[in-house]
Amino acid sequence: MSSGYKPDILWSPHHADRYVICDTELSLYRIGPAGNSETKAGALPLSEETTATLLAINSDAPYMKCVAWYPKHEPECLLAVGQANGRVVLTSLGQSHNSKCKELVGKEFVPKHARQCNTLAWNPVDSNWLAAGLDKHRADFSVLIWDISSKFSSEAVPAEKVRLSGDVDSGLVVTKSLYELGQNDACLSLCWLPRDHQKLLLAGMHRNLAIFDLRNTSQKTFVNTKAIQGVTVDPHFQDRVASFFEGQVAIWDLRKFEKPVFTLTEQPKPLTKVAWCPTRMGLLATLTRDSNIIRLYDMQHTPMPFGDEVEPTIIERSVQPCSESIISSFAWHPSAQNRMVVVSPNRVMNDFTVFERISLAWSSTTALMWACGRHLYECAEDAGQGVAAAEKDIATKMRERAQLHYGHDTVQVWRNHVLAGGDDPHLRSLWYTLHYILHCSQYTENVEQKQQSNKQSLIYSGIKNIVKSSSGTTETRRCWSGSDRQTDVPRYHSEERSLALQLCGWIGRGPDIDVEPFLKSLEQEGEWERAAAVALFNLDIRRAIQILNKGASAEKGDLNLNVVAMALSGYTDEKNSLWREMCSSLRLQLKKPYLCIMFAFLTSEPGAYDAVLYESRVAVRDRVAFACMFLNDAQLPRYIDKLTNEMKEAGNLEGILLTGLTKDGVDLMESYVDRTGDVQTASFCMLKGSPGEVLKDPRVQCWIENYRNLLDAWRFWHKRAEFDIHRSKLDPSSKPLPQVFVSCNFCGKSISYSCSAMPHQGRGFSQYGVSGSPTKSKVTSCPGCRKPLPRCALCLMNMGTPVSSCPGTGKADEKADLTRDKKLAQFNNWFTWCHNCRHGGHAGHMLSWFRDHSECPVSACTCKCMQLDTTGNLVPSDSV
Amino acid sequence: MDLHILDHRLRVTSISKTGLEQYTHPLIKLIFLRNRTRCKFFSLTETPENYTVVLDEEGFKELQPSAHLQVEGSTWLPLNVVSNGNASSSSQAVGVTKIAKSVIAPLAEQHVSVFMLSTYQTDFILVSESGVSLPLYYVCVCVCVCSVPHATVHPVLIPENQFCVMSLDPDTLPAIATTLIDVLFYSNSPKEGASVDQDMEYIKFFSFSLIDGYVSLVMDTEAQRQFPTDLLFTSSSGELWRMVRIGGQPLGFDECGIVAQISQPLADSDISAYYISTFSFDHALVSPFFSLFDTQNILALSIS
């Protein structure tokens, strides 16, 4: 028969280290650390850290159906056992010497009609009271409340009864109960309500949950439901009760007892146990039959006064305390957080702590915070100076760059890379490219007005398209400058090629193709190798040597450059010379890429410059310029195409030189954004594009919007506004239309638009001198009907801003803009009003009022204007 | 007091004594192998005439039709009266007596035939499906006591043996399996087939029901002795009951008012009673605290 019983588990209410397993007998265990388990014989491992030791076994009470532990300290280890025949027996474990206990142990409480005892509950305060829930009998009550201190029934027990029950020691039998409740019904579960310990009892009757008030047993509150098993009160929220029926758990609020507040998702198998976590708010654990999973329901975020409409949010998850074996029962530890012991049908026990769900939140900056149990962790990016820029998160970089006004330098475009920190070669290349593009386009705009449109778009369309359109290439064979030796290196010229060289930055704009200024600037920046290479490619070997010498002698110069210069000076165009042989083999050992390609150039056959063109450490700009000079019309587009595709694939910003600000460029930028997430650079770069196609690309719009959102999230509202202004200058289509108008109370016309908006009107407002009026009163009256404008709620003056009558004209002229900026009224004088109560006044006055108040300044208006504005209390995190 | 219509759909059948062996297999399955069938309502009552089996449609599928199996045509629905706890606890009477006035009498007045089945746990009032809609409405509004029209007065028989009503933890059912099988199927009375007469001193009557997981047993003290004492649940007072068998001829299923006829006077005198209908006859179990003589008198009084 014992096989039919599954072990249940019960924690001692007062000893945090003891629990009882009950199946056919009661076994008391003590839980301890596993450290010294070797010394203790018979210690059962519960987990990696804990073991259990069997302290006592009690097999006095057969046919055990339910057990309840006496809730008070004294007498400890007193248990009430409910039996299959409805008797309740008091028993104890390992307490042989306790006299107080002795008096009670063995006492039996017998119902009039035998039937199964389903549940037992001690009254937590009046601990003499023990409620027993029994199966139904046609003529008897199902809830009996016994007083364990009541004296034994002294009258003789009927002999028949002794015979039937087989009870010899009838002296300890109590048959008179304190209260009888629930006639002709079954009680499947019950619990005392903590709200009114002594008086209220909740019982799962046959088809309803009933609350009995012991002060008046004839009255009860009840609700019809099937969920009558396992009623249990949330220890943290005394009005919340869980009960279950088959696979479904119902959660009740005792204040609104008519129907369950909600039911949890139904499980396919019937539930066997439902228990609130005693150490954690709103955590309910449920166990279904033959399952190895305990399901947890976190009702932490349930709004406390349950609204009718509000569906409470419950987070459901499951834990698997012991990997494979089926769980027979579990019990929360009474004090250790989220800890439970589970027991399997074959009495294998497992100590288990439910890991707290981790909730995690990113801040809009890079900080990360998470909460686990009762701990809160914060993880912030190491902002120390030691952190290399490359290791910083892109968001941090973008924040820093935004603060440095990155992207806003429209005059010296190349300077933006300095604003970006100046340490990213790709950004540097990008901004120089943009710089050259804008430069050239400005130049062509000035010089060649006629062909403007054609040429203009060509400049923006990148070298790839420029070389494709190349025609009329001429080939020259120049001498090495400073020597009369003829080179066998053909060099190609065309208009487009020189445009490409301009875009590469090698030659200045204009007709001359002198690289000297470029060399000078490179020398200034200390890029000796690069300067030397550029000089060499312009066939000026002497200049190259001179540069190298200069570099060697410069401060912190590399003396090896002298050696290179020496090697260079030995150049001979003899095909089979020792110099050639050595250079072509030894150049590979050179660490500096520019030095390497110099010798590659000198040692390679004309037209076969792969060693130069595919040296990836060399800037794309220089390789492209080189190609434009030395590749013929067939080779050049092929090379450029190949390089373009490489760049696009890698998302290398240097490739913008090739693609220009075209759809190709957007493709390239897309892979760059995919790789880095740098929407900032993408936005600014694309805005620089010639007004037109690229800005309409949805990807570009997406980057721009995302960047704006990012700025908003960082509370960089001023930066965002600056960006919008910047954007509207470069892309007039993005200029937002006016969304708010102030209309006159009297004539209903907008007060901001005057003369130019309504030219047909007979009376031009200019004649009344609205904008340039010497009399201030004009400003504060409607330009339409000349009635006064509303008064400020605080200063009671009529409102009105001096230039509200000056509308922007269609053509955005930079200079006009500037002057208008100056003319704009002080923000303090602007109209402001609450959208809710429509009261308002001068912005400055309102600002200072709401610094100290949340209510509308107009007396008798109770509008909490300030609280309606969710962002009103946030402070921008960027300075103006 | 609530009247529930339970969601079982029941059939009332009878197995003749001679045909029992054909049905031992399904019966044992229905009694002991709860997990193998979806039958939720099962009652088997042995009377000297036959075995009455009341079971739901799931269980009915187990019974193969044969000449030995008689089936009552209609489907029956069980009604169950649940007190809300605030019922008067002053009255000692239990069972049929308690519901006589509130349910049985109104049903009789509406000429609804009822089939009673009392168990250890509760009383079931079975009504045939066609008759349930009207009385339910009626019962809800009518709690008044009505005089019961009864055309026929049936003779009653009061055998000598005493009966007890008991229950059992369904989990311990296997422990008494052999005894139960013995009592149910191998208890042919020594005087075989001889006397199904009026002057029976001892009547063979045994009832077993397994309804919604609750076991109820009705047997005489003779049979009770064969069972282990510690497993069966009974009342602590160990009360015993005397039987009143109603009907000289098989009663059939159409006549109404029989239960009311018996229960009304018992209710008036506050006498507790069980009432178990079978295929042929009705049986009332009355508390022995009232002398049999009293009972007889009361019944005779009311009948006359």
Question: Chain A window 102-141: which residues touch B at a Cβ cutoff of 8 Å?
Answer: 110-116, 135-140
Q: Which 3 state secondary structure label does DSSP give B302?
A: helix
Distance from CA of B120 to the nearest CA of A (A): 6
Extract the tokens encoding A722.
Answer: 């600056």
Give CA torsion, residues A630, A634, A637, A643, to 10 deg. Answer: -70
Extract the tokens encoding A434.
Answer: 């943009």
Q: Are strands A88-92 and A78-83 parallel, antiparallel or unpaired?
A: antiparallel
Extract the tokens encoding A816.
Answer: 């006009």
User: Which one is predicted more confidently, A387 or A639?
Assistant: A639
Return the top range by mean pLDDT from A141-150, A315-324, A662-671, B146-155.
A662-671
Q: What is the helix (H) or strand (E) element at residue A296, kind and residue range?
A: strand A294-298
Q: Are strands A26-33 and A50-58 parallel, antiparallel or unpaired?
A: antiparallel
Length of chain A: 880
Find the range with the poorest average confidence among A122-131, A201-210, A493-502, B165-174: A201-210
Distance from CA of B210 to the nearest CA of A (A): 14
Quickly list DSSP for A84-142.
Answer: TTS-EEEEESS-TT-HHHHHHTT-EE--SB---EEEEEE-SSSTTEEEEEE---TTSEE
Shared domain for A184 and A324, answered yes or no, is yes
Find the range with the poorest average confidence among A99-113, B59-73, B284-298: B284-298
Measured over all CA atoms, what is the biggest interatomic distance in chain A, rounded to whole angstroms? 142
Ranges of each domain in chain B: 1-304
Q: Is it the case that residue A166 has pLDDT exceeding 70?
A: no
pLDDT tens, position by position, A713-722: 888 888 998 8
Distance from CA of A181 to the nearest CA of B (A): 7
Distance from CA of B174 to the nearest CA of A (A): 9
Share of chain A above pLDDT 90, in %: 3
**Is A576 exposed, middle or buried (CB count within 10 Å of its CB: 0-12, 13-18, 19+)?**
exposed
Q: Is the dihedral of CA A836, A842, A848, A853 positive or negative?
A: negative
Within 8 A of B176 by CB-CB distance, chain A residues are none
Peptide bond between residue A75 and the one before it cis (omega within 30 degrees of 0) = yes
Shared domain for A349 and A494, answered yes or no, is no
Mean pLDDT over A343-359 rounds to 84
For A557-583, give the secondary structure using H, E and C: CCCHHHHHHHHHHCCCCCCCCHHHHHH
Mean pLDDT over B194-215 rounds to 74
In the prediction, which pLDDT does A483 show?
60
Find the range with the poorest average confidence among A414-423, A806-815, B154-163: A806-815
Query: Please, which residues have CB within 8 angstroms of residue B293's CB and are 6 or more apart in sequence?
Result: none
Which chain B residue's Cα is nearest to A221?
Answer: B84
Average pLDDT along chain B: 77
> Of the candidates A632, A662, A687, which is a domain's last residue?
A632
Half-sphere exposure of residue A208: CA atoms within 13 angstroms, side-chain side: 20
pLDDT tens, position by position, A645-674: 999 998 888 888 888 888 888 899 999 999
Mutate one of A6, A23, A138 to test the B interface: name it (highest B CB count within 10 A): A138
Q: Is it the case that residue A768 has pLDDT exceeding 60?
A: no
Q: How far apart are CA A540 and CA A601, in angstroms?
A: 13
Contact A654, A647 (CB under 8 A): yes
Shared domain for A348 and A492, answered yes or no, is no
Q: How far apart are CA A376 and CA A345, in angstroms?
A: 38
Residue type, A569: S
Mean pLDDT over A398-419 rounds to 85
Of B120, B233, B237, the CB nearest to A138: B120
In the prediction, which pLDDT does A40 show?
61
Assigned domain for A108 exists:
yes
> Of the candidates A353, A386, A412, which is a domain's last residue?
A353
Q: How far apart are CA A804 and CA A778, in angstroms?
A: 12
Shared domain for A106 and A238, answered yes or no, is yes
Residue A625: domain span: 473-632
Mean pLDDT over A463-479 rounds to 77
Mean pLDDT over A7-19 rounds to 86
Q: Is it the case that residue A814 has pLDDT exceeding 70?
A: no
Q: Are strands A349-353 and A339-343 parallel, antiparallel or unpaired?
A: antiparallel
Instruction: Give the predicted TM-score (pTM) of the model.
Output: 0.61
Distance from CA of A113 to the nearest CA of B (A): 4
> Do the chains contact at A115 and B121, CB–CB below 8 Å?
yes
Q: Which 3 state secondary structure label does DSSP give B224?
A: helix
Which chain A residue's Cα is nearest to B88?
Answer: A218
Average pLDDT along chain A: 78
Say if B213 is an interface residue toward chain A (CB within 8 Å).
no
Q: Is it the case that residue B255 has pLDDT exceeding 70?
A: yes
In the prediction, which pLDDT does A804 show?
44
Into how many domains does chain A fold? 3
Which chain A residue's Cα is nearest to B171?
Answer: A4
Extract the tokens encoding B151.
Answer: 């055309």
CB pairs A-B closer than 8 Å = 102
CA distances in angstroms from A847 to A741, A780, A826, listed in the order given? 21, 21, 14
In the prediction, which pLDDT does A673 show?
93
> Do the chains contact at A114 and B234, CB–CB below 8 Å?
yes
CA distances in angstroms from A106 to A127, A155, B116, B233, listed in the order given? 17, 19, 42, 21
In the prediction, which pLDDT does A36 show?
61
pLDDT tens, position by position, A179-210: 888 777 788 888 888 877 666 777 777 678 88
Mean pLDDT over A589-613 rounds to 83
In the numeric block, the tokens 């890429």 are attached to A593
In the prediction, which pLDDT does A672 show?
93
In the prediction, which pLDDT does A578 show?
82
Mutate one of B91, B98, B121 to test the A interface: name it (highest A CB count within 10 A): B121
- CATH number of the domain at A240, please: 2.130.10.10
Which chain B residue's Cα is nearest to A86?
Answer: B233
Within 8 A of B172 by CB-CB distance, chain A residues are 1, 63, 84
Find the range with the poorest average confidence among A91-105, A594-608, A790-804: A91-105
Within 8 A of A63 by CB-CB distance, chain B residues are 169, 172
Say if B221 is an interface residue toward chain A (CB within 8 Å).
no
Say if B42 is an interface residue toward chain A (CB within 8 Å).
no
> Do the chains contact at A86 and B214, CB–CB below 8 Å?
no
Query: Please, which residues have CB within 8 angstroms of residue A875's CB and are 6 or more apart in sequence?
Result: A715
User: Which one is predicted more confidently, B164 or A151?
Assistant: B164
CA distances in angstroms from A867 to A639, A842, A860, A874, listed in the order given? 63, 19, 17, 12
Shared domain for A336 and A481, answered yes or no, is no
Extract the tokens encoding A786.
Answer: 């000349």
Domain B1-304 in CATH 3.30.2130.10: yes
Phi, psi of A117 (to 5 degrees): -90, 120
Instruction: For residue A771, give the nearest of A742, A751, A747, A797 by alpha carbon.
Output: A751
Return the top range by mean pLDDT from A462-476, A668-682, A800-814, B3-17.
A668-682
Say if A6 is an interface residue toward chain B (CB within 8 Å).
no
Share of chain A above pLDDT 70, in %: 81
Say if B237 is an interface residue toward chain A (CB within 8 Å).
yes
